[in-house]
Structure 1
Amino acid sequence: MTDRSDVQFWDRVADKYAARPIKDVAAYEAMLADVASRLSEADRVLEIGCGTGVTAIRLAPGVLQWKATDLSPEMLRIARGKPAPANLSFAMADAELAADGDSYDAICAFLILHLVRDLRTSLAAIRDRLKPGGLLLSKTYCFGDMNIVMRRAVLPALQTLGMVPPVTVLTLQQLRQAIVDAGFAIDTVRSFGRNRHSHYIVARRSS
């Protein structure tokens, strides 16, 4: 269930977030290329936590339908203000309710699973809204694998200052196990670019 403070945080930073350049363009392009290679023109895709819609706008032309969701009205305002392909729609929803009962060939969760309040509930909701054999394509920060100073000093300080939202501190092993426990078979685990704590995972609904 959405926490009001999460919405307030992302609404507050939306304009600054939209203006921030991509840190590692080559890594971002490599991830997009891998995602696109796994999708087809017949696929219906749901994206959870779409932010300002940059990734959705890039990838939607390669599929039948792309529904991009976010819990922040301000993020969606910015996304809807951009030129977008006709098969792309934006809707307000959190990670547990984003699919509205529909079923999808693929669900994208980029930089969102470490932000949800209840990872297992969110993964279960994702699984239930995927068709059998459907793909979960995700990228997640595993703060639990960072050094102790970052985990216990820097991150809490940034949260106290309101510079970063609450996060779930996961290790890669914990993240993988949660995905498997939710009913997925993991196909790919890799990192793009210089950030070795940001993991791209492709998993398939087992049944």
Structure 2
Amino acid sequence: MSQSSRNARFWDRAARKYSADPIADEAGYERSLARTAEFMQAADQVFEFGCGTGTTALKLAPHCAHLLATDISPEMIAIAQEKAVAQGAPNVAFEVGLINDERWRHNSFDLALGFNILHLLDQRQAALAALHGLLKPGGLFISKTPCLSEMSFAIHLALPLMKAIGKAPHVDTFSEATLTGEIGQAGFDIIACERHGTRGKDIRAFIIARKR
């Protein structure tokens, strides 16, 4: 079984609990949403990967023409579709798929979003390259990613054990400098690196980058 398939199975099992859990830092989350909306235009075609249960996509959809939100977990997407129907969001589509899925047309999106997902990818550089291809020239990539190398040593020790017993998915540990370097190598210019947390130490790097 591939790593992607194992990750999909993990998130399928976790989806309902994940959907019910409250956001740990609501104020920080809202700051990230507001900052993202500043870069969105009414005519934009937007692509989100790792959309989970669709909360972020549905909140940002009013700021663009259409938003295609994707995830590898069918159960996550099923919950997102339930939310879209309940909220009445005609300009959002939720689909199961990977970034390099041939269904997504190259050079067709103005903006790509990836929140709390890059550290979960087992082939991050390949994903960033595929994402670069999806964007129009000059298109924007906005992401928010836990830089887990900033966490305590105890957490670093615990992650492999949690993964071994099925309590955590594949997780990669890196710094903000490593991540921005990889984004740059994929053909993006970094516009801004920010932190939006309002509770304790914030390890989530909010990065805005433009396709060269």
TM-score category (smaller protein): over 0.9
User: 1:58-89 CA deviation, whole Å, 9 max, x = no partner?
Assistant: 11111011000011010011111112411111
Q: Take 2:27 and 2:196, find their aligned partners in 1: how far apart are those partners?
A: 8
- Alpha-carbon offset, residue 100 of structure 1: 1.5
CA contact (8 A) 1:46 1:99 kept: no
Q: Secondary structure at the match of 1:114?
A: helix
TM-superposed deviation, 1:173: 1.1
- C-alpha separation between the residues in 2 aligned to 1:77 and 1:106? 24
Q: Is the 8 A contact 1:180 1:186 kept in 2?
A: yes
How big is the shift at 1:191?
Answer: 1.1
2:168 aligned with 1:164: yes
Are 1:184 and 1:204, in contact at CA under 8 Å, matched by a contact in 2? yes
In the alignment, is residue 94 of structure 1 matched against residue 94 of structure 2?
no
Structure 1 residue 191 and structure 2 residue 195: aligned? yes
Q: Give the aligned partner of residue 78 of structure 2.
A: 77
Distance 1:129 1:59, change over 3 A: same
2:8 maps to 7
2:177 pairs with 1:177 = no
The C-alpha deviation readout for 1:83-120, integer Å capped at 9, x for no partner, is 24111111111233286224100000001111111111
**Are positions 1:205 and 2:202 aligned together?**
no
Structure 2: which 5+ runs fail to align? Answer: none
Aligned residues of 1:48 and 1:98 also touching (Cα < 8 A):
no
How far apart, in 1, do the equivalents of 2:131 and 2:103 lie? 8
Structure 2 CA distance for aligned equivalents of residues 21 and 98 of structure 1: 34
> TM-score, normalized by length of structure 2?
0.92
Deviation, 1:2, is 6.2
Farther-moved stretch of structure 1 (40-49 vs 139-148): 139-148
- Provide the C-alpha distance between the structure 1 equivalents of 2:89 and 2:29, rounded to a whole number of angstroms: 20
Q: The residue matched to 2:120 in structure 1 has which SS?
A: coil
CA deviation vs aligned residue, 1:13-41 (integer Å, no higher than 9, x gap): 00000000111110011100000111010
Unpaired segments ≥5 residues, structure 1:
none
Structure 1 position 169, deviation (Å): 1.2
In structure 2, distance between residues paired with 1:98 and 1:5: 21
| 8 Å CA contact 1:141, 1:198 repeated in 2 | yes
Name 1:29's counterpart in structure 2: 30
CA distance in 1, matches of 2:102, 2:45: 14
State percent identity of aligned pairs: 39
Residues 145 and 172 in structure 1, CA contact (< 8 A), matched pair in contact too? no
Structure 1 letter corresponding to 2:208: V
d(CA) in 2 for partners of 1:58, 1:166: 27
CA RMSD in angstroms comes to: 1.5
- Decide whether aligned partners of structure 1 residues 98 and 20 sit closer, same or farther in structure 2, where only a CA change above 3 A counts: farther
* Contact in 2 for aligned 1:53/1:79 (Cα 8 Å): yes
Q: 3-state SS of the aligned residue for 1:164?
A: coil
Q: Within 1, Cα distance between the matches of 2:167 and 2:195?
A: 25
Could you list the structure 1 runs, at least 4 aligned residues long, displaced by more than 6 angstroms after superposition: none
